[in-house]
Amino acid sequence: MTDTAARLHELNLYRRYFDLVAVGSKTIEVRVKYPHLAGLAAGDTIRFRIKGTEETCDVLVKRVTEYPDFEALLNGEGPANINPTASREEQLTNIRTIYGPEKEALGALAIEIELRVR
């Protein structure tokens, strides 16, 4: 028997991305394919927190798609869904600043999210 119960995942998010999620304009979250995210699945909830604060925002995970790297992810998902305020080139630079080449080599996750109204 498989455990398919929805889970709650808590992840930190920079303020600039948190604000986009909180208003519902960011619908794809980008993460490295870390082992602790392996079980992330549609139906789960992510509680984003701005590190060092009590500010949180809950989203429903609608889909998780794996990509070999950030460039493929941006091509597959469309930059406007990831950050509607930045160009594709700016986004690629920003993502690679957050995650170095050794992290990108692990693979990339596109997490489609929908804002949960409390």
| Whole-prediction pTM | 0.93
- The strands making up 45-49's β-sheet, listed across from edge to edge, are 8-12, 45-49, 56-67, 108-115, 28-32
Residue 8 has a CB neighbour count (10 Å cut-off) of: 9
d(CA 80, CA 87): 8
Locus of tokens 């604060």:
53
Return the domain boundaries, the chain. 8-115
- The pLDDT of residue 3 is above 90: no
40-77: per-residue pLDDT in tens?
Answer: 999 999 999 998 899 999 999 999 999 999 999 999 99
Report the CATH number of the 8-115 domain.
Answer: 2.30.130.30
Task: Report the alpha-carbon distance of residue 52 to residue 75 in Å, rounded.
Answer: 33
What's the pLDDT score for residue 117? Answer: 78
